[in-house]
Amino acid sequence: MVLTAHGSRDPRSAANTRAIAGHLRRVAPEHDVRVAFCEHNAPNLRDVLADVGDDAIVVPFLLASAYHARIDIPGMIEESGAAVRVAPTLGEDRRLVQVLGERLTSAGASRFDPQLGVVAVAVGSSDAAANAGTARVADRLSRGTRWAGVEMAFATMAGSVPQAVERLQARGAERLMIAPWFLAHGTITDGIAEYARREGIPMAEPLGAHRLVAATVLDRVETALADRLAA
């Protein structure tokens, strides 16, 4: 299993990837778990693929099926010449949404607060279909709550977060919280946190090295293994 993240200049991102890999080794010792990155961090995916057999499964440690999942990772695999399978991205899995809800609760949110509005913030993509998939997080996060609403925003789109705040306020939200739909802290989440501090809006933690994140990774591996058997 090659857990493959995009990579970041921020060391917290790579540390989170390695923490999830460590958790996978503990709960699924039958798998030989490797970590790889597309850029910024080592080891590079190409180098890892040169050291594993063709029965390896590359698991994109990515939330959305956007550029890095559709272009970067397949391109690096093709360049390596390795005949490996690629698992699906993590997506808007219900377990990850559950983790996001737990992060909000830890930050002080109540599921029964009808005056609370939540801005779920993802990185965003130039791929409209990927953004549409990510936007499903808002509806799933709001289920079972009495909140004034949940709005999706994209950090790389100018004005997206303030506009989401305005929409929630128009819906009657008197209190706001920000929920980062990110696997780990990094430069982008720091920018979101700075906005939150300026506006006096509490912000929850990203998903992080939660056991349910690791469980979602294992589920994607099982999907890839089932596809292999079906073939």
Q: What is the mean pLDDT of residues 34-42?
A: 97
Other C-beta atoms within 10 Å of 30: how many? 5
Paired strand residues for 203: 178
Q: Which residue's structure tokens are 């693929």? A: 49
pLDDT of 33 reads 97
User: 78-107 burial by CB neighbour count: b if 16+ within 10 A, else e?
Assistant: eebebebbbbbbbbbbebbbebbbbbbeee
pLDDT for the residue 119? 98
Separation between Cα atoms, residue 32 and residue 52, nearest integer Å: 10
For position 228, what pLDDT does the model report? 65
Predicted confidence (pLDDT) per residue in 166-199, tens digit? 999 999 999 999 999 999 999 999 999 999 999 9
Residue 229 has pLDDT above 70, yes or no: no
Task: Report the percent of the chain where pLDDT is more than 90.
Answer: 92
Q: Are 4 and 72 in contact (CB under 8 A)?
A: no
pLDDT per position as a tens digit, 197-219: 999 999 999 999 999 999 999 99
Beta pairing partners, 34: 2
- Cis status, amide bond into 43, omega within 30 of 0: yes
The percent of residues above 70 in pLDDT, for the chain, comes to: 98
Planar angle of CA 195, 204, 139, nearest 5 degrees: 100
pTM of the model: 0.95
Average pLDDT, the chain: 95
In which residue are the tokens 């597309």 written? 38
Give all domains of the chain, ordered by start, each with its CATH number: 2-91+210-230 (3.40.50.1400), 94-199 (3.40.50.1400)
The per-residue pLDDT for 26 is: 97
What tokens were used for 160?
A: 């997206």
Residue 86 has pLDDT above 90, yes or no: yes
**Residue 45 predicted with pLDDT over 60:** yes
CA–CA distances in Å: residue 112 to residues 32, 98, 138, 221 = 43, 16, 17, 36
pLDDT band per the 50, 70, 90 thresholds, residue 54:
confident
